Amino acid sequence: MQKFRLALAANVAVFLSGCASGPNYTTPHIWVPANFELSRALGSVAKTSASTIPPESAVRWWETLHDPELSALVQQAIVTNPDIGIALARVQEAREQEIAVAGVALPQGNADGAIAGGSGTDSVKGRIPPSIDAGVNTTGFREITRVIGFDAGWELDLFGKYRRELEAARYETEAAIEARNAVLIVVVADVARNYIELRGLQTRIKVAQENIAREQKTVDLVHTRFDRGLSNELDVTLAKRELATLQAQLPPLIAGVSDVEARIALLLGTYSGEVSGELDRPREIPRTPERLRPGQPVDLLRRRPDIRQAERQLASATALVGASIADLFPRVLLTAGVGAQAGQSAVSSIPKFGGGIWSAGPGAYWSLLDFGQLDALIDVQEFRAYELLMNYRKTVLAALGDVESAIDQYRAALQRLRKLEDALAESRRAENLARERYERGLTDFLNVLDAQREEYGLEDQVVIAKQSVVIQFVTVYKALGGGWELYESLPPIPKPQPAILATFRRLSQPGQTWLSVPPPPRP
């Protein structure tokens, strides 16, 4: 029904107006470079390709991490996340508003009636619409006291005002859809980032526990050597200090796991207790693909929702410029009224039924002297459109900067990880050499302690670096703007009804059923 009304309004407007006031919108050309400008200082750390991103990489980029639990969390968040729900409600609101705007361009009809008495000959005057009042006939009446009837009016869209407003409403709906897509991308990236942080914390806990166990063996070894007179009390004290230092690292990591689980639960629209059972089982940090395909800058104009939203907002503002220009021209309204009248007869005190009444005809209004008000309002809309043009250009520039920065950060994270892994390998070798020399009495225990401390620290840094690489991978794909393409379908909106039918339907509804929020599905 709503599509029919939209089509009818648009077709009638085009038929009657022939052309609409104001500029016809065309997407502005924004120049973008052929390729992303990436840092040369990092070298070829990460394999990148400027080819267009294949569908499996752009649409379901999180699945390239090959973690089924992450994919399941993402799918649940898309369904149950509150922010996505809010954005979807705004889309539905915009779709309904589009229908309301279209309804203004269609004929309007009302039922009217009045009963009154007074000292004049037309007591109902001012209590009924002008189109019905114009048909009232006082001939043979001392006073008209009752009138009932129907009136209708239709403002002809001769200069395209309603057509432009309908265009603007349609563009605003499309902008709301893009805003919802942008929220979806942010939510998916936040779920992935928090999930990776969780797995990183769990891996750090595992590494810390392994180091604590190894340090406990060192304490036992030093105690044994002390009992045999091969070591001193200082070595025992230093070993215990190192063990206590490692044990002190565990509580913040464990608390961090609970904090991340709470954030993931919020993203899923549920409580942490509903997801902690699944997430408490440790898993490895996902590995990123060997090749990163950022595509080309021009792809962002077609894919990033924030760019698409900015462009649609510019289109809406351009259409409203035309609507404001149309206010400069005459407004033509067709009105009609039909009904019946009754009152006091001029020759007797008996109430008299006066029969049917009617009136029909066109009317016109043209603002000729407004001291520049309408012209100023046009300037306001033009400045608003220019503002959104600059915002569109700024959004494109920021998007390219986001991608280039994210790719550079990803490549830097990969380079740092590889260097830390090299350092860890050398540190383990140094720790083994120091321990062997200590056990043979060839070196001091402080050398062993320093080698262990460096090794433990590097093991933790390597885990953090692995986590950072995957998080930067997520940041790259968040900047590229993919991931919303499979979720473009929208639920239906309520079918609007004429006021008389809507009145009875609203009265018959049991209550505000939209306030009933079902619990989210369990992960």
Q: What is the pLDDT of residues 14-53, one digit of tens each?
A: 444 456 788 898 989 888 887 777 665 444 444 544 444 4
Q: Which domains does the chain have, with CATH numbers?
A: 2-105+157-330+366-488+497-515 (1.20.1600.10), 110-156+331-365 (no CATH)
Mean pLDDT (the chain) is 86
Amino acid in position 156: L
Report residue 510's pLDDT band, with 50, 70 and 90 as the boundaries: low
Which residue's structure tokens are 């565990």? 250
What pLDDT does 14 receive?
45
- pLDDT at 201 > cutoff 90: yes
Report residue 523's pLDDT band, with 50, 70 and 90 as the boundaries: very low
Q: Which of 30-44, 76-90, 110-124, 481-495 is predicted most confidently? A: 76-90
**Strand 47-48 to strand 291-292: parallel, antiparallel, or no bridges (unpaired)?**
parallel
Amino acid in position 158: L
Q: Can you give the three-state secondary structure of 442-501, one letter per residue? A: CCCHHHHHHHHHHHHHHHHHHHHHHHHHHHHHHHHHHHHCCCCHHHCCCCCCCCCCCHHH
Q: Is pLDDT larger for residue 359 or for residue 54?
A: 359
What pLDDT does 42 receive?
47
Mean predicted confidence (pLDDT) in 476-492: 87
Of the candidates 81, 91, 93, 182, the one whose C-alpha atom is nearest the C-alpha of residue 490 is: 91
- pLDDT at 187 > cutoff 60: yes
Report residue 229's pLDDT band, with 50, 70 and 90 as the boundaries: confident
What pLDDT does 483 receive?
84
Amino acid in position 47: K
- pLDDT at 191 > cutoff 90: yes
Q: Is pLDDT larger for residue 102 or for residue 383?
A: 383
What pLDDT does 40 receive?
53
Report residue 482's pLDDT band, with 50, 70 and 90 as the boundaries: confident
- pLDDT at 262 > cutoff 90: yes
Neighbour order of strands in the sheet with 331-345: 108-115, 141-156, 331-345, 351-365
Q: With contact defined as beta carbons under 8 Å apart, do 358 and 336 qualify?
A: yes
What pLDDT does 447 receive?
86
- pLDDT at 1 > cutoff 50: no
Report residue 82's pLDDT band, with 50, 70 and 90 as the boundaries: very high
pLDDT in tens, 287-306: 988 777 777 777 777 889 99
CA atoms of 300 and 292, how far apart (whole Å) = 16
pLDDT in tens, 241-258: 989 999 999 999 999 999
pLDDT in tens, 304-327: 999 999 999 999 999 999 999 999
Q: Six-digit token pair at 19? A: 């052309």
What pLDDT does 514 receive?
59
CB count within 10 Å of CB 41 equals 9
- pLDDT at 515 > cutoff 80: no
pLDDT in tens, 401-455: 999 999 999 999 999 999 999 999 999 999 899 888 888 888 888 888 888 889 9
pLDDT in tens, 336-394: 999 999 988 888 878 888 889 999 999 888 888 889 999 999 999 999 999 999 999 99
